[in-house]
Structure formats: structure tokens, C-alpha cells
Homo-oligomer: A and B are copies of this chain.
Amino acid sequence: MENHGTAADGPRERILSAASTLFYRHGINATGIGELVEVAGVSKRTLYQLFGSKDELVAAYLRRMSASRHLIERCLDRADLTPRERLVALFDRPRPTFRGCPLHNAAVELTEPGHPGRPVIVAHKRAFLDRLTDTARAAGARDPQALGHRLFVVFEGAMALATSTDDRNAFDYARPVALALIEEAVPGADG
């Protein structure tokens, strides 16, 4: 991982880039290794040399997604917003290509016990909950943990419902719920 840009990193990067597109758009189980190597422009042999198995490639894909700057929850890192504004920004309508949380979608697909992608998903959601709770604390919430948990479930609901109904107006349903939760939790918050 420390040798960015060397010839050895080229195929790894191309494979992960292809995986990020294909696994998210078409699903993990619907994407075959043949399609992946074709898009990445590498041989199957190279893919297996670098990742060992499809399961390990999926885990690497999920680690990349977990760190992606395109995730909605990255708004909690925005320095141009107040902590309260960061919480509210979670419920802005996502981009039109949004097809749910890539980590959640993988949780739906990876049903085998012991799949190496599962701990990546759980760790991502746990870190997100911690970040939410920290942001709630910075916003002045009386009980940051309670507000964190509640916004967590509402945010996951907006993402899931947008996927189920193929309609981003799920975020419009979620937003007033989040605003009410924030108002109730933060003394003196103004709408």
C-alpha cells in the first residue's frame, strides 16, 4: 500500500477501481470475476495473485468504500459547517446515481458466516455512529449518545428507503424527523 504509483500498484488500483464501479452499480454477487478483469484490463491470474480470492477482493473493496470521499456521511468532516449543520447535511438529497450505502448493500449480499467483508461493514457502521455521537456532542446535545443512535437509524432509513423505492424523496421524509430530534436534543437550537 505504501508504494503508490509504482508499476506493482497499477493493476491493484485498476482492479479496485473496476470493483468500486461494478460492485456498487450491479451488485457484488451479480459481478463475475471475468467482467471485473475485463474492465480492469488485467488477467485473472493477476487478480488472484493480488487478492487471493473474490471474498478478499470484496473485503478490500469495502475498505476502500468505507474510506471513500463520496460517502454522504463524509459531510460530518466538513470544516465549513457548524456541528449542527453537519448533522443536518446528512439529510440533503444525494446525487442521482445514489443506490444506497455500499456497506449496507454488501451486508444484504454477504450472507455467508465468516465472510471477510462482514467485519469491515460492522466497523464502518460503528465508526460512523461514534462520529455522529461526537458531532452531536460538539453541537451541544444534552445526551449525545441518544441523539447519535437516533440520527443513525433515521439516516440508514433514508438510504434504504431510497433504494427500495428508487426515489430519493426518502431523504425529504427523514429530514424533518432529524431536525425535530436535533431541536429536541440541543438546548436553544433554532429550527
- Interface contact B164-A29, CB-CB below 8 Å: no
- Each complex incorporates copies of this chain amounting to 2
The total of chain A residues at the interface (CB under 8 A) is: 45
Q: Does A39 contact B (CB under 8 A)?
A: no
- Interface contact B109-A29, CB-CB below 8 Å: yes
- Interface contact B173-A111, CB-CB below 8 Å: no
> Closest Cβ of chain B: how far from A63's Cβ, in Å?
16
Contact with B along A169-191 (1 / 0, CB 8 A): 01001101100110010000000
User: Which of A27, A161, A174 has most chain B Cβ within 10 Å?
Assistant: A161
- Interface contact B173-A107, CB-CB below 8 Å: no
Q: Does A149 contact B (CB under 8 A)?
A: yes
Q: How far is A180 from B76 in the complex, measured between Cα atoms in Å?
A: 25
Which candidate, A4-12, A79-87, A152-160, is the interface stretch facing chain B?
A: A152-160
Q: How far is A82 from B77 in the complex, measured between Cα atoms in Å?
A: 44
Given contacts A108-B27, A108-B105, contact A158 B163 (CB under 8 A): no
- Interface contact B125-A154, CB-CB below 8 Å: no
Q: Does A35 contact B (CB under 8 A)?
A: no
Instruction: Tell me which of B101, B157, B164 contacts A125 (CB under 8 A).
Output: B164
Instruction: Tell me which of B111, B170, B180 contacts A153 (CB under 8 A).
Output: B170
Q: Does A144 contact B (CB under 8 A)?
A: no
- Interface contact A165-B125, CB-CB below 8 Å: yes
